[in-house]
């Protein structure tokens, strides 16, 4: 089982958001240390460019900072909130790029990932383990879906396609796609509930 | 194929959480959500589920420099976009208007500035971008090991808590722009000009604060060929009601009273 949450001495995610809302930007630093890898991972998966993924992470935390006061704990976890912000920003960026054939800064885009320097990363190793274990569970749960269900969910999440767009892309009836999304997500929810970033009250 | 189930709005919860509804469908679903606590709970769980899908991607690690860039952007975001100007500003007190000919343009521009409040939401994103550019430029200065003292005061004026951002724009033209990072606590401001035309020799830009309805002369400056200028430690009048800031072009050395029409203007948020 993944670590159910931060160790007791560390502030809870939502306390950090409250601190950010109160104007303390160190809270964003701590959230960065916990979730930058998740945000960067999803941004890189969607954009396919390191420079773009970095831009997305910057914009996402800047948006989290601006919107911290509007964060509603009842709507889900901080980690989920941050992840969905990064997904939206990455999709926005990819859409903008395809619209105007963005010229990427090759110097930045071609820079290889810096190796994880010992001591340079302030993330907690427990968070890293937690993330890796969650990732394994998520991949296993997606594998358990029917391939068309998994495909529909991945097209929606990583490519930002609506159900109608998925139907058009796959040349399938819209109703079929809707059913796949609905049943696939329900099955995924049941499988992943123990691994949610935060448990519902 | 269609089953009765599929007509229930609740069946859209999964697609909504996954961001797979069209904007119209999403809006309709949100109206439904507002009426159903159960549906909100369900969406919360489905959203958590959707967010976890992110972790199915191969893990990628950001470079070591990204944290500092994020914090720069956040520090720049401390400066809030211009709030809607106080209602008193556009109604320039006619009795105290110093020179109708010159300052008529200011009144018109102030009216235009009211529009800024409406645009502030859109500007917020753009501002964050620009602000992070400033933060970057500030860092570059520091990296060069030059003007350390200036950098410190610049940083302080942009980063201290309570700093407000005032945008000066030319009416009808979004491009030449001045940002004033106004530190109320210390009555100082950092001026950042962008895309201004360099003035000819013998001329200068001059900043004015409109205090109790009258223009108070402030700094003079010119811009680099690219149209940029950064002036730190601009004194802001401490006493009285400072309602706006404006920029005119003046003879070199500046003027005690404005002699040309206002080029850019912005309302200062009320105390």
- The residue that leads in pLDDT, A115 or A45, is A45
Q: How many beta-carbon contacts under 8 Å exist across A and B? A: 208
Domains of chain B listed by start with CATH number = 4-56 (1.10.10), 66-267 (no CATH)
Half-sphere exposure of residue A61: CA atoms within 13 angstroms, side-chain side = 34
Last residue of a domain, one of A111, A133, A152: A111
Residue B246 in this model has a pLDDT that exceeds 70: yes
Is there a domain that residue A117 lies in? no
Last residue of a domain, one of A80, A111, A142: A111
Is there a domain that residue A178 lies in? yes
Query: Is there a single domain that holds both residue A13 and residue A106?
Result: yes
- b/e map B30-61, b = 16+ CB within 10 Å: eeebeeeeebeebbbbbbbbbbbbbbbbeeeb
Q: Where does the pLDDT of residue B2 fall: very low under 50, low under 70, confident under 90, or very high at 90 and above?
A: very low
> Who contacts A79 (Cβ-Cβ below 8 Å, separation ≥6)?
A13, A34, A35, A38, A197, A198, B51
Cβ proximity of B103 and B261 under 8 Å: no
Query: Is there a single domain that holds both residue A107 and residue A130?
Result: no
Task: Compute the average pLDDT of residues B144-150.
Answer: 57
Is there a domain that residue A1 lies in? no
Query: Is there a single domain that holds both residue A90 and residue A30?
Result: yes
- Does the beta-carbon distance from A178 to B124 stay under 8 Å? no
Q: What is the mean pLDDT of chain A?
A: 83
The C-alpha R_g of chain B, in whole angstroms, comes to 24
- The residue that leads in pLDDT, B91 or A89, is A89
Is there a domain that residue A59 lies in? yes
Residue range A109-146, pLDDT digits in tens: 333 343 333 333 445 666 777 777 788 899 999 999 99
- The residue that leads in pLDDT, A122 or A157, is A157
B53 interface with A at CB cutoff 8 Å: yes
pLDDT of residue B124: 62
- The residue that leads in pLDDT, A170 or B240, is A170
Cβ proximity of A166 and B18 under 8 Å: no
pLDDT of residue B267: 77
Residue B103 in this model has a pLDDT that exceeds 70: no
Please give, rounded to a whole number of angstroms, the shortest distance from the CA of A98 to a CA of chain B.
20
Residues B106 and A6: their CA atoms lie apart, in Å, by: 56
ipTM here = 0.85
pLDDT of residue A91: 95
Last residue of a domain, one of A50, A83, A111: A111
Which of B54, B68, B77, B126 is the best substitution to test chain A (most A C-beta atoms within 10 A)?
A: B54
Query: Is there a single domain that holds both residue A40 and residue A100?
Result: yes
Number of domains in chain A: 2
Nearest in space to B187 (alpha carbons), one of B218, B214, B220: B218
- Does the beta-carbon distance from B78 to A23 stay under 8 Å? yes
- Does the beta-carbon distance from A23 to B46 stay under 8 Å? no
Query: Is there a single domain that holds both residue A89 and residue A185?
Result: no
Q: Where does the pLDDT of residue B77 fall: very low under 50, low under 70, confident under 90, or very high at 90 and above?
A: low
Is there a domain that residue A116 lies in? no
Is there a domain that residue A118 lies in? no
* CATH code of A177's domain: 1.10.10.10
- The residue that leads in pLDDT, B81 or B181, is B181
pLDDT of residue B79: 45
- What sign has the CA pseudo-torsion A29, A197, A47, B122? negative
Residues 139-168 of B with CB under 8 A from A: 161
Chain CA centroid to CA A148, Å: 22
Query: Is there a single domain that holds both residue A94 and residue A184?
Result: no
Which residue range forms the structural domain that includes residue A142? 124-196
């Amino acid at each position: 089982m993944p670590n159910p949450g931060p160790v007791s001495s560390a502030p809870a995610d939502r306390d950090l958001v409250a601190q950010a809302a109160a104007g303390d930007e160190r809270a964003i630093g701590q959230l960065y240390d916990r979730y930058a890898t998740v945000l960067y991972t999803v941004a890189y998966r969607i954009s396919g460019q390191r420079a773009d993924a970095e831009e997305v992470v910057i914009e996402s935390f800047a948006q989290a900072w601006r919107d911290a006061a509007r964060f509603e704990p009842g709507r889900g976890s901080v980690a989920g909130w941050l992840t969905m912000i990064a997904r939206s920003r990455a999709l926005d960026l990819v859409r903008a790029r395809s619209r105007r054939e963005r010229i990427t800064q090759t110097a930045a885009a071609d820079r290889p990932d810096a190796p994880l320097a010992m001591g340079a990363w302030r993330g907690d190793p427990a968070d890293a383990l937690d993330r890796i274990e969650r990732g394994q569970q998520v991949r296993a749960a997606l594998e358990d879906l029917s391939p068309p269900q998994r495909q529909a969910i991945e097209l929606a999440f990583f490519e930002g396609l609506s159900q109608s767009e998925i139907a058009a892309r796959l040349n399938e009836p819209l109703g079929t796609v809707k059913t796949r999304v609905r049943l696939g997500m329900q099955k995924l929810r049941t499988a992943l509930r123990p691994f949610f970033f935060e448990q519902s009250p | 194929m269609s089953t009765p189930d599929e007509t229930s709005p609740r069946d859209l919860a999964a697609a909504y959480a996954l961001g797979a509804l069209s904007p119209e469908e999403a809006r309709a679903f949100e109206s439904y959500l507002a009426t159903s606590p159960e549906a909100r709970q369900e969406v919360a769980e489905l959203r958590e589920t959707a967010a976890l899908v992110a972790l199915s991607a191969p893990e990628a690690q950001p470079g070591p420099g990204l944290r500092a860039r994020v914090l720069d952007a956040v520090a720049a975001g401390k400066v809030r976009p211009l709030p809607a100007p106080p209602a008193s500003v556009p109604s320039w007190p006619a009795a105290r208007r110093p020179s109708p000919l010159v300052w008529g343009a200011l009144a018109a521009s102030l009216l235009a500035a009211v529009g800024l409040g409406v645009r502030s939401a859109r500007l917020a994103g753009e501002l964050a971008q620009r602000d992070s550019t400033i933060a970057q430029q500030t860092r570059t200065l520091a990296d060069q090991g030059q003007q350390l003292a200036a950098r410190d005061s610049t940083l302080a004026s942009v980063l201290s808590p309570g700093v407000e951002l005032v945008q000066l724009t030319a009416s009808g033209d979004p491009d030449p722009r001045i940002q004033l990072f106004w530190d109320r606590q210390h009555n100082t401001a950092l001026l950042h000009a962008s895309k201004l035309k360099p003035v000819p020799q013998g001329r200068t830009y001059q900043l004015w604060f409109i205090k109790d309805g009258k223009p108070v002369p402030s700094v003079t400056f010119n811009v680099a060929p690219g149209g940029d200028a950064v002036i730190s430690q601009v004194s802001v009048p401490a006493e009285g009601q400072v309602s706006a800031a404006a920029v005119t072009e003046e003879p070199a050395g500046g003027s005690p009273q404005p002699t040309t029409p206002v080029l850019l203007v912005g309302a200062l948020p009320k105390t």
